[in-house]
Amino acid sequence: MWPYAVAVLLALLLLRRWHRERQPVPRLSEKHVLITGCDSGFGKLLARQLDARGLRVLAACLTDSGAAELRAASSERLHTVLLDVTCSKSIARVAAWVRERVGDQGLWGLVNNAGIAIPAAPNEWLSKEDFVKVLNVNLVGLVEVTLSLLPLLRRARGRVVNVASVMGRVSCFGGGYCISKFGVEAFSDSLRRELRPFGVRVSIIEPGGFQTGMTDPAPLVEGFLRLWERLPAETQAAYGRHYLDKYAKSTTLMHRLSSSRLSHVTDAMTHALLSRCPRSRYAAGWDACLIFLPLSYCPAWLSDTIIGFFLPVPASGTP
């Protein structure tokens, strides 16, 4: 008898959760949301989606051309600002700009979306500066932007949405990208617990593979070649030219297998911003849900074997 009671109870809990998550927050037209990295990809699409729903979108772009293109495709409610998340002066200037626009109402939402992936390659091919370049954008910049806006978020009892990655659970390649996403996960977890008493909710978005400018194989392969050329002869001999070629081919293949439906990610971001009961984590993409998240719970020997199956073998290595 008790198994049926447990099943009914679980079903009721899931139904209650589903119902609560479907309830939107009120007065969307009064809420301001700042999104970083709106030149292209997820940030650009999210800005347009929120603008269409009547929110007051503050879109931070890196380039003038990206800002102009977004303004041309949006309503007059949407405002753009130039932001370099690696520059403290730029962050302080944007924080003051946001403060002027939101006033006593505060900032309802902050979406930390800006990010880069290049350079990405076997760790031995990279220098300290290669790691720092990615970490400064994906992690340190995200932290500084968040800290500069926390008083406004507390005032509105708003939302922080940090874009991590399934690579923040399972590191499949070298470079600063996976490291930075592990860091985003850790920062978001601590921030969520600290801000909960203030009524501020923090959510993590964990996308799988999507076809954005960040995953375009052309610059990735070009980057591999530049890194290869600067390697010492001993390192080149240890890996072998075939390793470089297979690494580049696998990058192209993964891009082709990635989803082109960016709305899977932006819909998760929208839910985190506008639901009365947002989730702490959102996995987006079939590969995230069916491959990488289950893989993150596997023992190391199993995950290493599965991931290693898709990696090329160095010339002086063993299969």
Residue with tokens 């760790």: 123
DSSP for residue 216:
-
Q: Which residues partner with 163 through β-bridges?
A: 205
| pTM reported for the whole predicted model | 0.90
Task: Compute the distance between CA of residue 67 and CA of residue 219 in angstroms, rounded to an integer.
Answer: 23
278: in domain: yes
317: in domain: no
Task: Express each pLDDT in 250-292 by its tens digit.
Answer: 777 777 777 788 999 999 999 999 998 899 999 998 888 888 9
228: in domain: no
14: in domain: no
Which residue range is the domain that position 32 belongs to?
Answer: 28-211+261-306
82: in domain: yes
Please state, in angstroms and as integers, the Cα–Cα distance from residue 96 to each residue in 57, 100, 102, 121, 170, following that order: 16, 6, 10, 38, 37
The DSSP element (H or E) to which 96 belongs, if any, is: helix 88-102
Number of domains making up the chain: 1
In terms of Cα–Cα distance, which of 133, 123, 118 is closest to 220?
A: 118
247: in domain: no
Q: Per-residue DSSP letters for 231-285?
A: S-HHHHHHH-HHHHHHHHHHHHHHHHHSB--THHHHHHHHHHHHBSS--SEEEES
First vs last Cα of the chain: how many Å apart?
53
Residue pLDDT tens, the chain, 319 long: 667 666 666 776 767 666 565 667 778 889 999 999 999 999 999 999 999 999 999 999 999 999 999 999 999 999 999 999 999 999 999 999 999 999 989 999 999 999 998 888 889 999 999 999 999 999 999 999 999 999 999 999 999 999 999 999 999 888 999 999 999 999 999 999 999 999 999 999 999 988 787 777 777 878 888 888 898 999 988 888 888 788 777 777 777 777 788 999 999 999 999 998 899 999 998 888 888 999 999 999 999 898 888 777 887 665 5
Residue 243 annotated as catalytic: no
250: in domain: no
CB atoms within 10 A of CB 43: 28
- Residue 202 has φ and ψ, to the nearest 5°, of -120, 130
pLDDT of residue 251: 76
Please state, in angstroms and as integers, the Cα–Cα distance from residue 212 to each residue in 158, 217, 258, following that order: 28, 10, 9
21: in domain: no
Catalytic residue among 4, 177, 247, 297: 177
Which CATH number goes with the domain that contains 207? Answer: 3.40.50.720
Please state, in angstroms and as integers, the Cα–Cα distance from residue 144 to each residue in 89, 134, 150, 191, following that order: 11, 15, 10, 13
pLDDT of residue 184: 97
